[in-house]
Amino acid sequence: MKIHIDEDRCVGGGQCVLAAPEVFDQRDDDGIVVLLQEQPADDLDHQVREAALLCPALAITLEETAP
Amino acid sequence: MLHTGDAPAYPMPRDAARCPFDPPAELAEIRDTDGIRRVQIWDGSRPWLVTRHADIRAVLSHPAISADIDNEGYPHQSAAIRARRSRAKTFFTADGVEEHDEPRRVLAREFTAKRMQSLREVIQGVTDRAIDEMLAGEKPADLVEKLALPVPTVMICDLLGAPDVDHARVQDLTKVFVAASSTPADTTAAAEELLDLIGGLLDEKAQAPGDDLLSRLATEQLVPGLRTREELSRMGLLLLTAGHETSANMIALGTAALLTNPDQLALIRDAEDPAVAAGAVEELLRYLTIVHSGLRRVAIEDLEVAGTTIRRGEGVILALGPGNRDAAAFADGEHAGPDSLDITRPARHHLAFGFGVHQCLGQQLARVELQVVFSTLFRRIPTLALAQPLTDVPFKTDMSIYGAHELLVTW
């Protein structure tokens, strides 16, 4: 799975950081999302999907990749 | 229920015979039939009421939907709330890059998930002191006055850099903002007083900045001329009032809900794993949904919701309570039904903080405050009990944010 983030849409709610702290962080100067891993290991799949579902600004999209 | 044609009056009163934590039954009926219905509000207008979880998410993130209170057709909650919101309009009730995104980002960094989690020890200290004082006082005690209001008020004032502000006065003025009995003159006067207070603090911070939010607004925005004193005062007002009224109501109502669900209370009290309290807070936010008079929006283009066309210029009200009790989102066969409190339920996708770009800015602060309070209170006072029957608690049916005016407890 490959993660795409849209910084322009992000409103710094922090939902993604709570759901998947190993994958998402927030910038110190404006709270905007920082992607720590673009293609995280499979065992983080559930957390990453939850982050995408919870993002209020729909700023996280997931691209399925071949296993 | 008052009917005006096919549009019932909104908000509907809560049914005194039902559980005080349940939204009015008519709302569940709308959700489980058409999902959407026209309602009639105080000014005679007839906005759409949207009640299902998926539809509420879709509307709140739809480009044809606006949160701007100045748009024709916006369904205001009351004349008094309209007056206050236009006197102190911020990004919270506006759209677009300049009016919303940029000012929100100025504040978003102050409330990031990690920054708020780093405050856990500070919040623990504030909570412990409030409980110490309550225990040292008389029984029964009013938990609203002793714990629910002080913890979030102290926290938001400290974050802003205004620890010496008159907390009681700020609480009184905020009460004016949300009381149904307030007139437009009342809410405007309360807004003026708070704007003056915050403007004065910004001036002081510009001269002698400290390590706090208002100092950063003063030195990085006001002094270089990026934003005006008026705009920054309005932002401070939003934080000061939103920062304590909401969390305070969640603390009081959550305590009442847990004391009436002792099996759930025991799970939090006895848990070693902090994830239990974190999950419990999400479930309490879902179950109680204190924003009980609906989020307000207006359509700026036509859009389709639940098979109905909402036309440009028509108001839309998102009924978060029934959305947060929607079986389509919260019934999984493994946990109690959505009308019950089950703190083991995965509930993070609730709508208690709203959805879309205006979702609550202070939600990560609220989460940590609630986690600390609920994981501390029942451990420190294992014998805590309501000192009055639940039916005698004065619930805030007369306020735009639900809660309890007073919650008498003993131990």
Q: How far apart (Å, rounded) are the C-alpha atoms in residues B347 and B326?
A: 12
Class of domain B3-410: mainly alpha
Q: How far is A51 from chain B (nearest CA, A)?
A: 10
Residue B109 touches chain A, beta carbons under 8 Å: yes
Q: Could you tell me if A6 and A45 are in contact, meaning their C-beta atoms sit under 8 angstroms apart?
A: no
* Number of structural domains in chain A: 1
Going by DSSP bridges, is the β-strand pair B408-410/B141-142 parallel, antiparallel, or unpaired? antiparallel
Q: Do B364 and A14 touch (CB under 8 A)?
A: yes
Q: What pLDDT is attached to residue B2? A: 47
Which residues, at least 6 apart from B156, have a Cβ–Cβ distance to it below 8 Å?
Answer: B239, B240, B243, B244, B362, B365
Chain A CB contacts of B367 under 8 Å are 18
Chain B CB contacts of A29 under 8 Å are 109
Chain A 34-53, residues with CB within 8 Å of chain B CB atoms = 50, 53
Residue B167: count other Cβ atoms within 10 Å of its Cβ. 17
Q: What pLDDT is attached to residue B52? A: 98
What domain range includes position A30?
Answer: 2-63
Q: Could you tell me if B75 and B46 are in contact, meaning their C-beta atoms sit under 8 angstroms apart?
A: no
Domain of A49, CATH number, reads 3.30.70.20
ipTM: 0.95
Q: Could you tell me if B214 and B160 are in contact, meaning their C-beta atoms sit under 8 angstroms apart?
A: yes
Residue A18 touches chain B, beta carbons under 8 Å: yes
Q: Could you tell me if B383 and B376 are in contact, meaning their C-beta atoms sit under 8 angstroms apart?
A: no
Partnered with residue B399 across adjacent β-strands are B179
* Lookup: tokens for B238: 């939003």
| Long-range Cβ contact pairs of B218-222 (< 8 A, separation 24 or more) | B221/B106
pLDDT score of A44 more than 50: yes
Residue A25 touches chain B, beta carbons under 8 Å: yes
Helices (H) and strands (E) in chain A, counts: 2, 4
CB pairs under 8 A between A and B: 70
Q: Do A26 and B113 touch (CB under 8 A)?
A: yes
Q: Could you tell me if B357 and B59 are in contact, meaning their C-beta atoms sit under 8 angstroms apart?
A: no
Chain B CB contacts of A50 under 8 Å are 348
Which of B77, B407, B373, B362 has the alpha carbon at shortest distance from B241?
B362
Q: Do A13 and B106 touch (CB under 8 A)?
A: no
* Residue pointed to by tokens 């008389």: B138
* Lookup: tokens for A21: 């702290």
Q: What pLDDT is attached to residue B5? A: 59
Q: Report the sign of the C-alpha dihedral through residues B287, B135, B243, A23, in that order.
A: negative
Q: Do A14 and B363 touch (CB under 8 A)?
A: yes
Q: What pLDDT is attached to residue B244? A: 80
Distances (CA, A) of A35 to A11, A20, A21, A42: 15, 11, 10, 16
Estimate the crossing angle of helix B363-380 against helix B150-160, to 10 degrees.
140
Q: Do A25 and B349 touch (CB under 8 A)?
A: no
Residue B269: count other Cβ atoms within 10 Å of its Cβ. 20
Q: What pLDDT is attached to residue A22? A: 97
Q: Do B349 and A58 touch (CB under 8 A)?
A: no
Residue B120 touches chain A, beta carbons under 8 Å: no
Nearest residue of chain A to residue B115 (CA atoms): A28
For residue B190, which phi and psi values (nearest 5 degrees)?
-65, -40
Going by DSSP bridges, is the β-strand pair B315-318/B385-386 parallel, antiparallel, or unpaired? unpaired
Nearest residue of chain A to residue B347 (CA atoms): A54
Cβ burial of B117 (10 Å; 0-12, 13-18, 19+) is: middle
Q: What is the pLDDT along chain B (411 residues), one digit of tens a residue?
A: 444 458 999 999 988 778 999 999 999 999 999 999 999 999 999 999 999 999 999 999 999 999 999 999 999 999 999 999 999 999 999 999 999 999 999 999 999 999 999 999 999 999 999 999 999 999 999 999 999 999 999 999 999 999 999 999 998 998 898 888 899 999 999 999 999 999 999 999 999 999 999 999 999 999 999 999 999 999 999 999 888 889 999 999 999 999 999 999 999 999 999 999 999 999 999 999 999 999 999 999 999 999 999 999 999 999 999 999 999 999 999 999 999 999 999 999 999 999 999 999 999 999 999 999 999 999 999 999 999 999 999 999 988 899 999 999 999
Cβ burial of B91 (10 Å; 0-12, 13-18, 19+) is: buried
Q: What pLDDT is attached to residue A20? A: 97
Q: How far apart (Å, rounded) are the C-alpha atoms in residues B148 and B159?
A: 18
Q: Do A26 and B364 touch (CB under 8 A)?
A: no
Domain coordinates of chain B in residue numbers? Answer: 3-410
Residue B105 touches chain A, beta carbons under 8 Å: yes
* Residue pointed to by tokens 């919260």: B330
Looking at the partner chain, which of B101, B112, B359 has a beta carbon nearest the beta carbon of A56?
B359
Nearest residue of chain B to residue A16 (CA atoms): B113
Chain B CB contacts of A18 under 8 Å are 113, 348, 364, 367
Nearest residue of chain A to residue B357 (CA atoms): A57
Chain B CB contacts of A8 under 8 Å are 101
